[in-house]
Chains A and B, each alone.
Chain A
């Protein structure tokens, strides 16, 4: 079942002063299925963030359409339903956190939806538990680490119980430990709660477990496929200004030396078993 569907979707930023136009998203036709984990890759300026904002009506299509379930994002009367369905986590948690304490911040969404206070309490507690911040609920957000702040932002999204969470380079400002904790939580939400995840990232290692990878280049979809399908075209990927996971790169380099290892190795474990298999035969 599809949860987000775009057709011939285009969006152009207009600079009124200079009368210039730049087409950020160009005829994108894409379907995201319910429960999927999709990674979106593309160089800076390829239209990834613009596309993400079109998914929950922060931007509206110039041409084409975006449907979230059966709601057309161009239809203003659907705005609340769309925003409740598709939650966004941005790069810098400081731009997204507004409450004076962690729990107040998480309660912001449900409060705005006019929920009863007992229910809000419930939602806030549940959301904080999922991201592992229960004992920090009374803290001021600025006292938290980067990873904790980003988890607060995710809890704030969870509190409105969305079906889709879009992460727009949400780990790029975090240290390795913070990055790992966010990815662990996001994967758990996907597997255990069935939440559809769209992860926009420059970090290739975050994408190897995803169901599909979508690569954008100059606003257009350049390729869609499983990580295995996408990353085996190392040269193609590099031409698009991107990279492959380091292990994939290592095996690509070995092939160049005439060692016929598999071309679709994604993880260290796969690499080890590939080498084991090959050494059996020599």
Chain B
């Protein structure tokens, strides 16, 4: 089940002199429980694609199915509870007076019992690693990293089974980035949420994802496991993308030491290979 995209095309401002083709006959499947990364140049259609996942945009042609249901004839409210979309810089959308009110916004009409709402809010903020004490604070008094997490809590409270995040770490400092990634890994492993993760960082994609989709000029350029994608470095270079820095390093190392395995995309694997190199030569 999960997400099925079939021959999806989309053109902005269709029928005007400014029309711009953003997606061209895109087909892909994202299975339940997968952690999928999407990479590609600015303007390659990533954001247009993910906006179809909860019907913010509707296909000009082709179809998008969420759990087997076509988004064109699904109840939008239900769909948007099922597919949570976290935009770039989601903290710009915070607007309520308190964290409690902001996080509760998505369910305030569905659940009337304030106690129940409060409980759900507490649950959501805990999921993003924040303390209950934050609920009474104004969203504008929080740090950048906290705001980002509150915004994500506001999506999680709707209990989505699919969470789509557009560059969630942009602008966060390294510790904020790391704690956000812990939260995502936790959500994926413990709550079995399907995650779609758009990023410009090849290192982060290699660290987090099971599968990678590469987009170029409104189409799917390739898709596969982290290893399958990053092994094709020349093709990635052709569209202005790159492999993780650690992979480039291992390729350089292999030139001097052919016995090194350069099929390496994460730091811990590079470490293992280099240790082997040292220990091997010593024996």
Contact = CB atoms under 8 A, between A and B. Distances in A.
Interface of A: 42-45, 91, 145-147, 169, 172-179, 202, 204-205, 238, 241-243, 246-247, 249-250, 253-254, 257, 259, 268-269, 271-272, 275-276, 278-279, 282
B105 to A, nearest CB: 23
Contact of A254 (B42, B252, B257, B274): B274
B271 A257 contact: yes
B164 to A, nearest CB: 19
A91 B42 contact: no
Contact of B267 (A173, A178, A249): A249
B200 A175 contact: yes
A271 B245 CA distance: 12
A202 B245 contact: no
A178 B42 contact: yes
Interface stretch (B69-77, B79-87, B110-118, B171-179): B171-179
Nearest to B174: A243
A204 B172 CA distance: 13
A271 to B, nearest CB: 6
B245 A247 contact: yes
Interface string B114-139: 00000000000000000000000000
Given A44-B145, A241-B174, A250 B271 contact: yes
Nearest to B171: A172
B19 interface: no
Interface residues of B, number: 39
Given A238-B175, A253-B267, 6 more contacts: A44-B173, A242-B173, A246-B245, A250-B271, A279-B281, A282-B278
Q: Is the interface of A mostly helix, strand, loop or mixed?
A: helix
18 contacts: A44-B173, A45-B144, A145-B43, A175-B240, A176-B202, A176-B241, A178-B42, A202-B171, A202-B177, A241-B175, A246-B245, A247-B246, A253-B267, A257-B271, A268-B245, A268-B248, A275-B277, A282-B281
B249 A44 contact: no
A254 B143 CA distance: 35
Nearest to B268: A253
Interface string B255-283: 01100000000011011001101100110
B256 A176 contact: no
B4 interface: no
A279 B256 CA distance: 11
A42 B173 CA distance: 8
Given A43-B173, A45-B144, A253-B267, A176 B242 contact: yes
> Which 8 residue pairs spanning A and B have beta carbons closest together?
A241-B175, A243-B174, A44-B144, A43-B173, A177-B240, A268-B249, A175-B42, A45-B143
A282 B282 contact: yes
A249 B242 CA distance: 20
Contact of A169 (B143, B171, B176, B244): B171
Nearest to B142: A45
Contacts of B170: 172-173
A269 B172 CA distance: 28
A243 B207 CA distance: 16
Given A43-B175, A176-B200, A242-B175, A146 B282 contact: no
Contacts of A282: 278, 281-282
B42 A174 contact: yes
Contacts of B229: none
Nearest to A179: B200
Contact of A259 (B145, B176, B244, B275): B275
A34 to B, nearest CB: 29
B159 interface: no
Contacts of A173: 170-171
Contacts of B176: 43-44, 241
Contacts of B145: 44
Contact of B249 (A147, A169, A177, A271): A271
B179 to A, nearest CB: 10
A44 to B, nearest CB: 4
A262 to B, nearest CB: 13
B208 interface: no
A178 B41 CA distance: 9
B174 A242 contact: yes
B253 interface: yes
B275 A257 contact: yes
Contacts of B277: 275, 279
Nearest to A276: B256
